Structure 1
Amino acid sequence: MKKTLWIIFILTSFVFCGCQPKVNLFPDGTDPLLEKVQQGDGADKILVISIDGTISAQGKRSLLGSSPSLVQEISSRLKKAAEDKEIKALVLKVNSPGGGVTASDILYNEIVRFKEKTKAKVVVSMMDVAASGGYYVSLPADHIMAHPTTLTGSIGVIFIRPKVDGLMEKIGVSVEVSKSGRNKDMGFPFKPDTPEQKKIIDSIINDYAERFHELVKKHRSISADKLNTIFTAQVFSAEGARKAGLVDSLGYLPDAIDKACELAGIAKDSRVITYKRKSYPDDTLYNSASSQGISPALINIDAGYLMPPKTGFHYLWLPAAE
């Protein structure tokens, strides 16, 4: 009873004194990035950034608010890091099945530009999955380390779109389209593609796949025989990826940090930092909830995982997509 009266007194005081406490029930990622030292006390810094989930340039919206896209979050961290001269190395903790072709390519380019601007060394630490676009964004790294149980690979492109023309025919419903050119309705879900349209789609897929393949050749020294297997877009276990030349070594996150120190020529007691938008008690490097604060949700309505990825071309290993 006394506790309740005390709370009422405090709230009443705020009202009468004109003070309005800032209460952020539904964080939206607009809070500033906070630097947190996870370990070490040396002069130099190693930044750890998590690339977690399907790679997209589109923010998430729900009934209770919104959050920034993965591309926005990673690029904002890289921009902040580029202004800190004490950061000598970057560890990318990748746990992603990939995502959109353009979103993956943007992140790849952001990492390349970060390296060029800062001369910092980059090490990738792969977690559960680092496939397709998750591997694509790992390519600029000076060293790629897979967790012993990582799945990676899937070096290829997939074009996803719903097709319901058979269902429409069964239920006796049709959709009429007026168009200016015979291929304007290419990929339309309510009709099958024509042979010409299938060739066009295949040509686009080949172009995107060729870009991916060329980047693999540019960043990795892999024999032609192994590339032929890799370019079937199969996934590999961590050991299989090491044998194929897709990763340099197997290890854990602390091993990746040690490798980053070694490549950057800095002491092993260098400060390992992360950027978060909220402080977490007993935080660790394995916390990927870095994009926004976590608050008790009154309602959690997010059934996005039940739906297939949006229509389009993806560097994505579909079985692991969100």
Structure 2
Amino acid sequence: MTIRADEVIDRRRLRRRLSFWRAATLVLALLAIFGASVWLAGDEFGGTAANHIAKVKIEGTITEDDELIARLERIRKSSAVKGVVLSIDSPGGTTAGGEAIFDEVRRVAAEKPVVAQVGTLAASAGYMIATATDHIVARQSSIVGSIGVLLQYPDLSGLMDKLGIKLEEVKSSPLKAEPSPFKPTSDEARAMVRNMIMDSYDWFIGLVVERRPLTRAEVTKLADGSIFTGRQALGNKLVDALGGEREAIDWLASKGVDPDLRVIEWKPQRSGSSWLLSNSLAKAVARWLGLPEYDAGLIRELGGERIFLDGLLSLWHPDNGLWGN
């Protein structure tokens, strides 16, 4: 069958039109997704959201988190945020990480009412951050406390002897690079570490004394590493009330915040193009483009970031291993 030249031209025009409309549909879909993301996230993406209560989740192992610090700063500056709920579920983490977040929460609390709502756990540096708020609400069965500091490291010298490995070192002074996992800890090194630990411990106690209605003697008695249920923590004045988010919002209402305001969670901003997509939608787009669906959140959920903690820790039940440098 012979195809005329004008029919070939018409078919090519039709194909070009179809390609154009396919591309236009994809662009419109992406713009719609972007617009929905901005509308849902409000001020988090620089929009003009209506007045609301900001909710920030602090979960898992605490480290120095630049993104969280920046998010709290945006919340502080947002005129749409009338109150803040910190939802805490953390066993603690590094003292430096806890200190950085504590300081930023205090900056927010200087301008807006901030309340902590403890879920399953607010221990060690997690409790440190909770004390930065002006009111702490915990469930009756929540785990609260574990006020203290630690540094752990293994002693591999016995294993090295069995394997016939000998350590050779030349250093400028006896305490350089001490304590070391490759040899038994000397009395001098142990004393140095203990002095450092006790100084940070004294600082931690000072924060709790400053923020809670307790004397130093009362805090010191509680700060032996013990953990408490929410009920016990209330009796010990480590928390202010029992309950959940409803009770946290009731406290905000006592500070002049409209309890009928919508509670909007300020989530971490994502890097790259996925910041404007939900996690599931980003995965769907990745599959469509033939890209892997890697999710760093899965690693965090499995506790993988604990392997890389460095420095002094304020952590409840850390895994065995090298903690500190």
* 2:311 equivalent in structure 1: 312
1:121 paired with 2:113, answer yes
CA contact (8 A) 1:97 1:320 kept: no
The 3-state SS of whatever aligns with 2:151 is: strand
Q: Give 1 or 2: higher helix fraction.
A: 2
CA pair 225-33 structure 1, distance change in 2 beyond 3 A: farther
1:205 paired with 2:193, answer no
CA contact (8 A) 1:33 1:277 kept: no
Deviation, 1:162, is 2.7
Q: Deviations over 1:201-240 (max 9, x none)?
A: 0000001000000011111112556424311111111111
Q: Determine the C-alpha separation between the residues in 2 that align with 1:220 and 1:184.
A: 39
Q: Deviations over 1:24-54 (max 9, x none)?
A: 9xxxxxx9996269xxxx9742111000110
Deviation, 1:163, is 2.4
1:293 paired with 2:279, answer yes
Deviation, 1:156, is 0.3
Q: Determine the C-alpha separation between the residues in 2 that align with 1:233 and 1:143.
A: 22
- Equivalent of residue 61 in structure 2, options 35, 50, 54: 54
Q: Residues 74-153 of structure 1 correspond to what in structure 2 (within 5 A)?
A: 74-116=68-110, 119-153=111-145
CA contact (8 A) 1:161 1:310 kept: no
Q: Name which one, 1 or 2, has greater alpha-carbon Rg.
A: 2
* 1:162 equivalent in structure 2: 154
The 3-state SS of whatever aligns with 1:206 is: helix
- Equivalent of residue 35 in structure 1, options 35, 41, 46: 41
- Equivalent of residue 276 in structure 1, options 267, 271, 278: 267
1:231 paired with 2:217, answer no
Deviation, 1:75, is 1.3
CA pair 306-87 structure 1, distance change in 2 beyond 3 A: closer
Deviation, 1:103, is 0.8
CA contact (8 A) 1:125 1:252 kept: yes
Deviation, 1:17, is 6.7
Q: Determine the C-alpha separation between the residues in 1 that align with 2:136 and 2:142.
A: 12
* 1:287 equivalent in structure 2: none
CA pair 76-33 structure 1, distance change in 2 beyond 3 A: farther
Q: Determine the C-alpha separation between the residues in 1 that align with 2:174 and 2:38.
A: 50
Instruction: Count the aligned residue pairs.
Output: 276
Ranges in structure 2 where 5+ consecutive residues have no aligned partner: 1-14, 31-36, 44-48, 271-276, 284-291, 321-325
TM-score (norm 1): 0.74
Q: Residues 171-186 of structure 1 correspond to what in structure 2 (within 5 A)?
A: 171-186=163-178
Which amino acid counterpart does residue 144 of structure 2 have in structure 1?
A: T
Q: CA RMSD in A?
A: 3.7
Q: Residues 59-78 of structure 1 correspond to what in structure 2 (within 5 A)?
A: 71-78=65-72
Which amino acid counterpart does residue 242 of structure 1 have in structure 2?
A: L
Q: Give 1 or 2: higher strand fraction.
A: 1
The 3-state SS of whatever aligns with 1:137 is: helix
CA pair 136-177 structure 1, distance change in 2 beyond 3 A: same
Q: Determine the C-alpha separation between the residues in 2 that align with 1:262 and 1:44.
A: 17
The 3-state SS of whatever aligns with 1:160 is: coil
CA contact (8 A) 2:87 2:119 kept: yes
Deviation, 1:187, is 1.7
Q: Determine the C-alpha separation between the residues in 2 that align with 1:159 and 1:235.
A: 19
Ranges in structure 1 where 5+ consecutive residues have no aligned partner: 1-8, 25-30, 58-70, 280-290
CA pair 155-73 structure 1, distance change in 2 beyond 3 A: same
- % identity of equivalent residues: 29
* 2:11 equivalent in structure 1: none
Deviation, 1:309, is 5.7
